[in-house]
Structure formats: C-alpha cells, structure tokens
Amino acid sequence: MRRALLWLPPLLYMSVIFYLSSQSAPLPALTAHVWDKALHFIEYGTLCILFCRALQGEGLAALRLALVAVVLTSAYGATDEVHQSFVPERNAGADDWLADTTGGAAAATLFSTALRLRRPLRRSLPDR
C-alpha cells in the first residue's frame, strides 16, 4: 500500500500531462502569455520531483534517485512529444524535449542537494 501511495502522484500527474497533450490548444489563456519552453521546464520539473519522492521512498540514495528520476522524466517527455505528433494542430519538437529534460535535471539537482544537506543536520542533533 505504501508503494502505491508513493507512485500514485507521479502517475496521476503523467495522466494530466497526457490529457493536456491530447488537446489541440491546451490552456490557451496561459500558453498565450508564457513562453512554452518555460511551461515545459516547470511541468517536467514538477514530474521529476514527484519521481524523486517516489524513488526516495524506494530507498535509493540521493545521487542515484536523481539520475533515475531524470531518466524517467526525459523518457516520458520523449513519449509525450511522439504523442503530440499525432494530435491535430500540435507538433513534436526536440527543443520541447530538451526543455522537459532540463527542467527535470534542475529539479532533481535541487531535490538531491536538499537531501544531502538535510541528512548531516539530522545526524548532528542529539538523541532524546
């Protein structure tokens, strides 16, 4: 049950991405005013954080979970670009995939750095 709770958030978020990618013009009020690469960066950075959280629960060390999370995020970004190539008025682009992967890498770096900085602090606190 615990594992399902760890993996449910990234799976649900991936389904939201899939749904939005299926739309010819998703969130037009937002996409008209925000650079699409920034949206990709944030969207896939968030997915990567959810992957990091799930992988942390699986017991992976900070560096390993960051690497695995970036690979999963990048792979999903690639499949999303292929999916978009079949949606009317949408196109696939390597530049979008690069923004996805870069957002994931930035998020994984922040997550793993926070983990490494937090752990020594816990060890130095006295037991009660």
Tens of pLDDT, residues 68-125:
999 999 999 999 999 999 999 888 899 999 999 999 999 999 999 999 888 765 555 5
Over residues 48-65, mean pLDDT: 96
% of the chain residues with pLDDT over 70: 92
Confidence category of residue 32, pLDDT binned at 50, 70, 90: confident
Q: Is it the case that residue 50 has pLDDT exceeding 90? A: yes
On whether the CB atoms of residues 37 and 31 are closer than 8 A, the answer is no
Residue with the bigger pLDDT between 44 and 119: it is 44
Residue 123's pLDDT is 54
**In whole angstroms, what is the distance from residue 75 CA to residue 19 CA?**
17
The count of other CB atoms within 10 Å of the CB of residue 28 is 10
Residue listed under structure tokens 């560096």: 63
Between the alpha carbon of residue 13 and those of residues 9, 10, 43, 100, the distances in Å are: 6, 5, 9, 14
Residue 120's pLDDT is 61
Residue 99's pLDDT is 97
Q: What is the DSSP string of 12-44?
A: HHHHHHHHHHTSSS-SHHHHTTS-HHHHHHHHH
Residue listed under structure tokens 């999370």: 69
